[in-house]
Structure 1
Amino acid sequence: MSSTPAPALTPEQLRDVYSRMVLIREFEEQVRRLATSGTVPGLAHLCAGQEATAVGACYFLNDDDYIASSHRGHGHCLAKGMRPDRLLAEILGKRDGYCGGRSGSMHVSDPSTGNLGTNGIVGGGISLAAGAALAARHAGGNRVAMCFFGDGALNQGIAFEVMNMASIWKLPVIFVCENNGYGEYTALEDVTAGKSLPARGEVFDIPSDILDGMDVLTVLDAAHRAIARARRGDGPSFLIFNTYRYGGHHVGDKQAYKDDDEVKQWQARDPILKLQRLLLEQQAATEEELDALRQEASRRVREAADFAKASPEPDANQLSRFVYA
């Protein structure tokens, strides 16, 4: 991995990281409530528990850098700069959503923030990010692309084909695997062969590492090194962050396949609470300041919900718009 470590964050930056993580958690809880009430059409896949990977990986990306996400992508969207109100409107299928209510949760995109889209296909965003990285190379400059995918994508052929090409061409792309231990309802060890997950990248001579995805400082440092490597023209990196989704595969998932002790152990490692303790220990924030940040995140999400609910349904006469033969 690159020898360029992340710069030490100021107390203000650490509070900013905390506020972004709290916003994602609040947003996902709002989506959960709306989905439970039947307001969200289709399935909702939440990333509560995985906030450190989204915020930490995206923090050092520039506005014009690209990301490609997965079906569990609300956190990535918010971390890259998408607005909670328009994102929630899209999840509800409303006209004021980012894609006019057409994409819903699993295929939302936003060119203005470099978001190539969430993706309902397992590993579907991997090739999109590599393509964007190739385009950025030809266009000049130092833009990079980052793709997020779950541990289930480690068994998809597209991942290996893209890693091979990215290594050969030294594309400025960062492969980020959020290993939450489960592909839908199945434990990783039941379907994934091989003792070393990083070996999947190392075989293509891609610097690869497996790290604590519940520690946002660890994610920040690893992502900064990988981004710096890509901007220098040294090629791709493969980062596996061990993390955990506190909810099910989707909101209606009862999670009978999870062990209670396992859940408690991961909840004790909550990335938001971990950063909160650090901020207080280092006197980078007071309890009052952190409470104010939580209140602000809650306010923004409440306003986003009001906006999304009030947004009109798409007009039927617009059904063929954006459809091309």
Structure 2
Amino acid sequence: MAVAARKTRRNDTGAAKKTSKKSTGAQVPAFTKDEDLYAYREMLLIRRFEEKAGQMYGMGLIGGFCHLYIGQEAVVVGMHMASQDGDQQITGYRDHGHMLVCGLDPKGVMAELTGRQGGLSKGKGGSMHMFSKEKHFYGGHGIVGAQVSLGTGLAFANHYRDNKNVCMTYFGDGAANQGQVYESFNMAELWKLPVVYVIENNRYAMGTAVTRASAQTDFSRRGLSFNIPGEQVDGMDIRAVREAASRALAFARSGKGPYILEMLTYRYRGHSMSDPAKYRSKDEVTRMREEHDPIEQVRRRLLETWKLSEEELKAIDSKVREIVNEAAEFATHDAEPDPSELYTDILR
């Protein structure tokens, strides 16, 4: 996938000015060995966790909706690598990877998927509704676009408290067409709120290609009428993601207001586990896996640049699989919530 990063900046008078640059792997800062190892482990954990979740859904152990993040791992890991302690995350229903990267226990995430008492929402939220105030993760939201207004509210709280934290507000190309998104954009720019809007453009809103649903398919330009700068990023290259995230977070943290990052990414599975994804060809998916897979890119660097052996990488994979298998075992045998749990956490 050839990706051109188009960046919008303000000039001194406040008017928008367009510049463009490439966001290819050759033009982004190289990772150190430790950074590549970290990226590899974190993305692999998300990949293996999601693969196991898909298996458990097929076995009937996970009910309701289940949206997998396979293929998009570089986006959330790269953003997290550029963030600081105290920065918040909020996203939609494709949220398992976002929770794992901020350090939440895979056992608690998987137990929530199976509706057990040890789940992050005590078994009451399922795949789409998990939260952790301690880790500054505010969901997991099933209503399309709802998290954008809430993320803007979190940014307002940061602004009010002057705590120098930034809210990373994730949403997809489909949610980008919701009206509340633009109300949030206007408010965020008007009040110079510290928020980075991360649009995870995986090309398909459910089963509809962006070209069939969006008059403006360059989502980095969606904030132009509000004077919000935006940038297109190769969301399959974690180095490009981390570099763009560093710029955007620094911009928002300095008091200059919101920033839009359109992450050009791709999901390998259907919209949800019930989606056969017949609206795209197998060749398209295979080509993306073979040519742009975010984990394979890092794996090649570990082998070729950092001279790790296949045995060392297999050891990392083995450890990750062990973590995921332990999470699945816990989530399968943990007790279901007591019926009295239905009456807790209710606002009156």
- Same fold at TM > 0.5: yes
Q: Is the CA contact 1:90–1:98 (under 8 Å) kept in the aligned structure 2? A: yes
The aligned counterpart of 1:44 is 66
Q: Is the CA contact 1:6–1:224 (under 8 Å) kept in the aligned structure 2? A: no
Whichever residue aligns with residue 62 of structure 2, its letter is: V
Under a length normalisation based on structure 1, what TM-score does the superposition of the two structures give? 0.95
Whichever residue aligns with residue 95 of structure 1, its letter is: Q
Give distance in 1, aligned partners of 2:300 and 2:216: 36
The aligned counterpart of 1:260 is 282
Structure 2's unaligned 5+ residue stretches are 1-6, 10-26
The aligned counterpart of 2:345 is 322
Whichever residue aligns with residue 127 of structure 2, its letter is: S
The aligned counterpart of 2:246 is 224
Give distance in 2, aligned partners of 1:68 and 1:95: 23
Q: Is the CA contact 1:45–1:249 (under 8 Å) kept in the aligned structure 2? A: yes
* Residue 80 (1) aligns with residue 89 (2): no
| Percent identity for Structure 1 against Structure 2 | 40
Give distance in 2, aligned partners of 1:267 and 1:164: 37
1:1-325 correspondence to structure 2 within 5 Å: 9-268=31-290, 269-283=292-306, 285-325=308-348
Q: Is the CA contact 1:85–1:303 (under 8 Å) kept in the aligned structure 2? A: yes
* Cα distance, 1:195 vs structure 2: 4.9
* Cα distance, 1:8 vs structure 2: 5.6
Give distance in 2, aligned partners of 1:290 and 1:226: 32
Give distance in 2, aligned partners of 1:286 and 1:133: 44
Q: Is the CA contact 2:74–2:241 (under 8 Å) kept in the aligned structure 1? A: yes
Give distance in 2, aligned partners of 1:261 and 1:6: 29
Decide which moves more: 170-179 or 75-84.
75-84
* Cα distance, 1:285 vs structure 2: 3.5
Give distance in 2, aligned partners of 1:221 and 1:68: 21
Give distance in 2, aligned partners of 1:131 and 1:105: 23
Q: Is the CA contact 2:210–2:217 (under 8 Å) kept in the aligned structure 1? A: no
Any idea what the Cα deviations from partners look like across 1:123-150, whole Å, max 9, x if unmatched?
Answer: 1111111111110111122111001111
Give distance in 1, aligned partners of 2:99 and 2:307: 27
Q: Is the CA contact 1:65–1:114 (under 8 Å) kept in the aligned structure 2? A: yes
Under a length normalisation based on structure 2, what TM-score does the superposition of the two structures give? 0.89
Q: Is the CA contact 1:48–1:245 (under 8 Å) kept in the aligned structure 2? A: yes
Matched positions, count: 323
Give distance in 1, aligned partners of 2:34 and 2:218: 38
Q: Is the CA contact 1:6–1:220 (under 8 Å) kept in the aligned structure 2? A: no
Any idea what the Cα deviations from partners look like across 1:72-98, whole Å, max 9, x if unmatched?
Answer: 111111112211110110111110011
Give distance in 1, aligned partners of 2:229 and 2:115: 40
Partner secondary structure for residue 89 of structure 1: helix
Whichever residue aligns with residue 12 of structure 1, its letter is: D
Q: Is the CA contact 2:31–2:239 (under 8 Å) kept in the aligned structure 1? A: no
* Cα distance, 1:284 vs structure 2: 6.0
Q: Is the CA contact 1:15–1:285 (under 8 Å) kept in the aligned structure 2? A: no
